[in-house]
Amino acid sequence: MSKVAIVTGGTRGIGASISKALRDEGYKVAASYAGNDEAAEQFREETGIAVYQWDVGDFDACAAGVKQVEDDFGPIEILVNNAGITRDVMFHRMTQKDWLDVINTNLNGLFNMTRNVWEDMRGRGFGRIVNISSINGQKGQMGQANYSAAKAGDLGFIKALAQEGARKGITVNTIAPGYIGTEMVLAVPQEVLEKKIIPNIPVGRLGEPEEIARCVLFLCSKDAGFITGSTLTANGGQYMV
Ligand code: CAA
Protein backbone atom coordinates (compact mmCIF):
# COMPACT_ATOMS: atom_id res chain seq x y z
CA MET A 1 0.00 0.00 0.00
CA SER A 2 1.22 3.48 -0.83
CA LYS A 3 -0.04 5.13 2.38
CA VAL A 4 -0.77 8.48 0.79
CA ALA A 5 -3.59 10.65 2.11
CA ILE A 6 -5.11 13.91 0.93
CA VAL A 7 -6.89 16.06 3.50
CA THR A 8 -8.76 18.97 1.97
CA GLY A 9 -8.83 22.07 4.12
CA GLY A 10 -6.08 20.23 5.92
CA THR A 11 -4.04 23.13 7.28
CA ARG A 12 -6.51 24.61 9.77
CA GLY A 13 -9.21 23.61 12.24
CA ILE A 14 -10.43 20.01 12.22
CA GLY A 15 -8.49 19.38 9.00
CA ALA A 16 -5.16 20.25 10.61
CA SER A 17 -5.79 17.72 13.38
CA ILE A 18 -6.72 15.09 10.80
CA SER A 19 -3.55 15.78 8.79
CA LYS A 20 -1.39 15.40 11.89
CA ALA A 21 -3.16 12.25 13.05
CA LEU A 22 -2.66 10.58 9.65
CA ARG A 23 0.97 11.66 9.57
CA ASP A 24 1.46 10.12 13.02
CA GLU A 25 -0.01 6.87 11.64
CA GLY A 26 2.72 6.82 9.00
CA TYR A 27 0.86 8.31 6.04
CA LYS A 28 2.41 10.72 3.61
CA VAL A 29 -0.10 13.53 3.92
CA ALA A 30 -0.96 16.25 1.43
CA ALA A 31 -2.95 19.01 3.09
CA SER A 32 -4.79 21.22 0.63
CA TYR A 33 -5.93 24.73 1.39
CA ALA A 34 -7.95 27.32 -0.50
CA GLY A 35 -6.21 30.63 -0.02
CA ASN A 36 -4.75 31.36 3.40
CA ASP A 37 -1.06 31.12 2.43
CA GLU A 38 0.16 32.42 5.76
CA ALA A 39 -1.67 29.79 7.82
CA ALA A 40 -0.62 27.07 5.38
CA GLU A 41 3.03 28.07 5.51
CA GLN A 42 2.97 28.17 9.31
CA PHE A 43 1.32 24.73 9.37
CA ARG A 44 3.97 23.35 7.00
CA GLU A 45 6.79 24.75 9.10
CA GLU A 46 5.35 23.43 12.37
CA THR A 47 4.38 19.97 11.14
CA GLY A 48 6.54 19.19 8.13
CA ILE A 49 3.35 18.21 6.29
CA ALA A 50 3.23 19.09 2.58
CA VAL A 51 0.69 21.76 1.67
CA TYR A 52 -0.96 22.36 -1.70
CA GLN A 53 -3.15 25.22 -2.77
CA TRP A 54 -6.24 24.54 -4.83
CA ASP A 55 -9.96 25.33 -4.70
CA VAL A 56 -12.09 22.23 -4.08
CA GLY A 57 -14.93 24.04 -5.84
CA ASP A 58 -13.00 23.95 -9.13
CA PHE A 59 -13.01 20.54 -10.83
CA ASP A 60 -9.99 21.17 -13.03
CA ALA A 61 -7.97 22.54 -10.11
CA CYS A 62 -8.81 19.37 -8.14
CA ALA A 63 -7.69 17.18 -11.06
CA ALA A 64 -4.40 19.07 -11.28
CA GLY A 65 -3.93 18.99 -7.50
CA VAL A 66 -4.53 15.24 -7.25
CA LYS A 67 -2.11 14.62 -10.11
CA GLN A 68 0.55 16.74 -8.42
CA VAL A 69 0.18 14.82 -5.15
CA GLU A 70 0.38 11.50 -7.03
CA ASP A 71 3.52 12.68 -8.82
CA ASP A 72 5.07 13.74 -5.50
CA PHE A 73 4.03 10.80 -3.28
CA GLY A 74 2.31 8.05 -5.27
CA PRO A 75 -1.25 6.75 -5.56
CA ILE A 76 -3.86 8.12 -3.18
CA GLU A 77 -5.14 5.62 -0.66
CA ILE A 78 -7.14 7.97 1.56
CA LEU A 79 -9.18 11.04 0.71
CA VAL A 80 -10.59 13.11 3.54
CA ASN A 81 -13.07 15.66 2.21
CA ASN A 82 -12.91 18.14 5.03
CA ALA A 83 -12.83 21.55 3.31
CA GLY A 84 -15.87 23.60 4.13
CA ILE A 85 -17.07 27.15 4.57
CA THR A 86 -19.98 28.90 6.26
CA ARG A 87 -21.95 31.93 5.17
CA ASP A 88 -24.41 32.00 8.05
CA VAL A 89 -27.34 34.35 7.58
CA MET A 90 -31.10 34.10 8.03
CA PHE A 91 -32.72 32.92 4.81
CA HIS A 92 -34.68 36.15 4.23
CA ARG A 93 -31.32 37.92 3.94
CA MET A 94 -29.37 35.14 2.19
CA THR A 95 -28.03 36.14 -1.22
CA GLN A 96 -27.65 33.81 -4.17
CA LYS A 97 -23.89 34.16 -3.70
CA ASP A 98 -24.15 33.01 -0.06
CA TRP A 99 -26.01 29.97 -1.33
CA LEU A 100 -23.80 29.16 -4.31
CA ASP A 101 -20.49 29.67 -2.48
CA VAL A 102 -21.42 27.19 0.24
CA ILE A 103 -22.92 24.61 -2.14
CA ASN A 104 -19.93 24.87 -4.45
CA THR A 105 -17.31 24.36 -1.77
CA ASN A 106 -19.11 22.01 0.60
CA LEU A 107 -21.10 19.85 -1.83
CA ASN A 108 -19.64 20.23 -5.33
CA GLY A 109 -16.24 19.89 -3.67
CA LEU A 110 -17.14 16.31 -2.76
CA PHE A 111 -17.73 15.48 -6.42
CA ASN A 112 -14.70 17.40 -7.65
CA MET A 113 -12.28 15.65 -5.31
CA THR A 114 -13.77 12.19 -5.11
CA ARG A 115 -14.26 11.85 -8.86
CA ASN A 116 -10.58 12.57 -9.37
CA VAL A 117 -9.36 9.76 -7.09
CA TRP A 118 -12.16 7.25 -7.66
CA GLU A 119 -11.05 5.49 -10.82
CA ASP A 120 -7.55 4.83 -9.51
CA MET A 121 -8.91 3.51 -6.22
CA ARG A 122 -11.20 1.18 -8.18
CA GLY A 123 -8.27 0.06 -10.29
CA ARG A 124 -6.13 -0.73 -7.25
CA GLY A 125 -8.99 -2.38 -5.34
CA PHE A 126 -8.57 -0.28 -2.23
CA GLY A 127 -9.54 3.15 -0.97
CA ARG A 128 -10.88 5.06 1.98
CA ILE A 129 -13.08 8.11 1.50
CA VAL A 130 -14.06 9.96 4.66
CA ASN A 131 -16.10 13.14 4.48
CA ILE A 132 -16.70 15.66 7.21
CA SER A 133 -20.41 16.48 7.27
CA SER A 134 -22.06 18.17 10.26
CA ILE A 135 -24.69 17.84 12.95
CA ASN A 136 -26.40 20.65 11.06
CA GLY A 137 -26.80 18.46 7.99
CA GLN A 138 -28.68 16.03 10.22
CA LYS A 139 -30.88 18.35 12.26
CA GLY A 140 -30.84 21.61 10.27
CA GLN A 141 -29.79 24.92 11.76
CA MET A 142 -31.37 28.36 11.57
CA GLY A 143 -29.07 30.71 9.66
CA GLN A 144 -27.61 27.79 7.71
CA ALA A 145 -30.05 26.80 4.95
CA ASN A 146 -27.08 26.71 2.57
CA TYR A 147 -24.72 24.82 4.88
CA SER A 148 -27.35 22.39 6.16
CA ALA A 149 -28.40 21.59 2.58
CA ALA A 150 -24.82 20.89 1.52
CA LYS A 151 -24.02 18.81 4.59
CA ALA A 152 -27.26 16.82 4.20
CA GLY A 153 -26.28 16.25 0.57
CA ASP A 154 -23.13 14.58 1.85
CA LEU A 155 -25.23 12.05 3.75
CA GLY A 156 -26.88 10.92 0.51
CA PHE A 157 -23.64 11.07 -1.46
CA ILE A 158 -21.84 8.57 0.77
CA LYS A 159 -24.77 6.14 0.78
CA ALA A 160 -24.87 5.99 -3.00
CA LEU A 161 -21.12 5.84 -3.50
CA ALA A 162 -20.60 3.25 -0.79
CA GLN A 163 -22.70 0.84 -2.84
CA GLU A 164 -20.54 1.45 -5.90
CA GLY A 165 -17.26 1.13 -4.01
CA ALA A 166 -18.11 -1.92 -1.92
CA ARG A 167 -17.00 -4.57 -4.42
CA LYS A 168 -13.87 -2.59 -5.22
CA GLY A 169 -12.47 -2.42 -1.70
CA ILE A 170 -13.39 1.23 -1.26
CA THR A 171 -15.26 2.37 1.82
CA VAL A 172 -17.11 5.68 1.81
CA ASN A 173 -18.21 7.17 5.11
CA THR A 174 -18.95 10.50 6.67
CA ILE A 175 -18.52 11.93 10.13
CA ALA A 176 -21.07 14.39 11.48
CA PRO A 177 -19.27 16.49 14.08
CA GLY A 178 -21.17 18.66 16.46
CA TYR A 179 -19.78 22.01 17.60
CA ILE A 180 -16.00 21.72 17.74
CA GLY A 181 -13.76 24.45 19.17
CA THR A 182 -12.37 25.76 15.90
CA GLU A 183 -12.24 29.20 14.30
CA MET A 184 -15.45 28.36 12.40
CA VAL A 185 -17.47 27.75 15.56
CA LEU A 186 -15.80 30.54 17.51
CA ALA A 187 -17.01 32.91 14.76
CA VAL A 188 -20.58 32.31 15.96
CA PRO A 189 -21.78 35.32 17.99
CA GLN A 190 -20.51 34.71 21.53
CA GLU A 191 -23.92 35.21 23.11
CA VAL A 192 -25.47 32.61 20.79
CA LEU A 193 -22.66 30.17 21.48
CA GLU A 194 -22.82 30.55 25.25
CA LYS A 195 -26.58 30.84 25.72
CA LYS A 196 -28.07 28.76 22.89
CA ILE A 197 -25.51 26.21 21.78
CA ILE A 198 -23.27 25.00 24.61
CA PRO A 199 -26.20 24.50 27.06
CA ASN A 200 -27.67 22.08 24.48
CA ILE A 201 -24.57 19.89 24.43
CA PRO A 202 -25.10 17.22 27.11
CA VAL A 203 -21.37 16.71 27.73
CA GLY A 204 -21.24 20.44 28.53
CA ARG A 205 -18.44 21.54 26.24
CA LEU A 206 -17.36 22.01 22.66
CA GLY A 207 -15.64 19.08 21.02
CA GLU A 208 -11.93 19.04 20.27
CA PRO A 209 -10.57 18.68 16.73
CA GLU A 210 -8.50 15.68 17.85
CA GLU A 211 -11.71 13.88 18.79
CA ILE A 212 -12.81 14.07 15.17
CA ALA A 213 -9.36 13.14 13.89
CA ARG A 214 -9.50 9.91 15.90
CA CYS A 215 -12.82 9.05 14.22
CA VAL A 216 -11.16 9.57 10.83
CA LEU A 217 -8.25 7.30 11.77
CA PHE A 218 -10.64 4.54 12.74
CA LEU A 219 -12.66 4.77 9.52
CA CYS A 220 -9.43 4.73 7.49
CA SER A 221 -8.03 1.69 9.25
CA LYS A 222 -8.03 -1.82 7.81
CA ASP A 223 -10.18 -2.81 10.81
CA ALA A 224 -13.02 -0.64 9.50
CA GLY A 225 -13.35 -2.52 6.21
CA PHE A 226 -16.91 -3.66 6.99
CA ILE A 227 -18.09 -0.10 7.68
CA THR A 228 -19.25 1.74 4.59
CA GLY A 229 -22.08 4.15 3.82
CA SER A 230 -22.27 5.09 7.46
CA THR A 231 -22.53 8.39 9.26
CA LEU A 232 -20.58 8.54 12.50
CA THR A 233 -22.00 11.21 14.77
CA ALA A 234 -19.62 12.86 17.23
CA ASN A 235 -21.51 15.66 18.88
CA GLY A 236 -21.39 15.28 22.66
CA GLY A 237 -24.96 13.99 22.70
CA GLN A 238 -26.45 17.15 21.17
CA TYR A 239 -28.42 15.25 18.53
CA MET A 240 -29.05 11.54 18.38
CA VAL A 241 -30.01 9.99 15.08
N1 CAA B 1 -29.07 27.75 18.19
C2 CAA B 1 -30.12 28.30 18.84
N3 CAA B 1 -30.55 29.55 18.64
C4 CAA B 1 -29.89 30.30 17.75
C5 CAA B 1 -28.78 29.80 17.02
C6 CAA B 1 -28.37 28.49 17.29
N7 CAA B 1 -27.32 27.93 16.68
N8 CAA B 1 -28.34 30.77 16.20
C9 CAA B 1 -29.12 31.83 16.38
N10 CAA B 1 -30.05 31.56 17.34
C11 CAA B 1 -31.05 32.48 17.86
C12 CAA B 1 -30.42 33.70 18.53
O13 CAA B 1 -30.03 33.41 19.86
C14 CAA B 1 -31.57 34.67 18.46
O15 CAA B 1 -32.51 34.31 19.44
P16 CAA B 1 -33.26 35.44 20.32
O17 CAA B 1 -34.05 36.22 19.32
O18 CAA B 1 -34.07 34.62 21.28
O19 CAA B 1 -32.18 36.22 20.98
C20 CAA B 1 -32.18 34.36 17.09
O21 CAA B 1 -31.77 33.03 16.78
C22 CAA B 1 -31.71 35.29 15.99
O23 CAA B 1 -30.28 35.34 16.06
P24 CAA B 1 -29.51 36.73 15.98
O25 CAA B 1 -30.11 37.75 16.93
O26 CAA B 1 -28.05 36.44 16.14
O27 CAA B 1 -29.89 37.19 14.50
P28 CAA B 1 -28.94 37.64 13.33
O29 CAA B 1 -29.81 37.81 12.14
O30 CAA B 1 -28.04 38.74 13.77
O31 CAA B 1 -27.99 36.38 13.09
C32 CAA B 1 -27.46 34.10 12.66
C33 CAA B 1 -28.58 35.12 12.79
C34 CAA B 1 -26.62 34.39 11.42
C35 CAA B 1 -28.16 32.75 12.51
C36 CAA B 1 -26.52 34.16 13.90
O37 CAA B 1 -27.30 34.08 15.09
C38 CAA B 1 -25.59 32.98 13.92
O39 CAA B 1 -24.54 33.03 13.29
N40 CAA B 1 -25.98 31.95 14.64
C41 CAA B 1 -25.20 30.71 14.71
C42 CAA B 1 -25.67 29.75 13.64
C43 CAA B 1 -24.90 28.49 13.83
O44 CAA B 1 -25.17 27.73 14.76
N45 CAA B 1 -23.94 28.25 12.93
C46 CAA B 1 -23.05 27.12 13.05
C47 CAA B 1 -21.65 27.60 12.76
S48 CAA B 1 -20.44 26.37 13.19
C49 CAA B 1 -20.57 25.25 11.99
O50 CAA B 1 -21.26 25.39 11.01
C51 CAA B 1 -19.78 23.98 12.18
C52 CAA B 1 -20.69 22.85 12.34
O53 CAA B 1 -20.78 22.04 11.43
C54 CAA B 1 -21.43 22.66 13.60
Our CA dihedral for 237, 129, 224, 135, rounded to 10 degrees, sits at: 10
Q: How many angstroms is it from 85 CA to the middle of ligand 1?
A: 16
What is the model's pTM?
0.96
Q: Please tell me the predicted confidence (pLDDT) of residue 1.
A: 53
Nearest CA to ligand 1 atom 41: 188
Q: Please tell me the predicted confidence (pLDDT) of residue 57.
A: 98
Low-confidence residues of the chain, pLDDT below 70? 1-2
User: What digits encode the pLDDT tens for the residues 37-74?
Assistant: 999 999 999 999 999 999 999 999 999 999 999 999 99
User: What digits encode the pLDDT tens for the residues 81-92?
Assistant: 999 999 999 999
Q: Is the CB of 54 under 6 A from ligand 1?
A: no
Query: For the residues of 32-73, what is the DSSP string, one character each?
Result: EESS-HHHHHHHHHHH--EEEE--TT-HHHHHHHHHHHHHHH
Whether 53 contacts 34, CB under 8 Å: yes
Active-site choice (33, 52, 147, 179): 147
Q: For the chain, list the domains and their CATH numbers.
A: 4-234 (3.40.50.720)
Q: How many angstroms is it from 133 CA to the middle of ligand 1?
A: 19
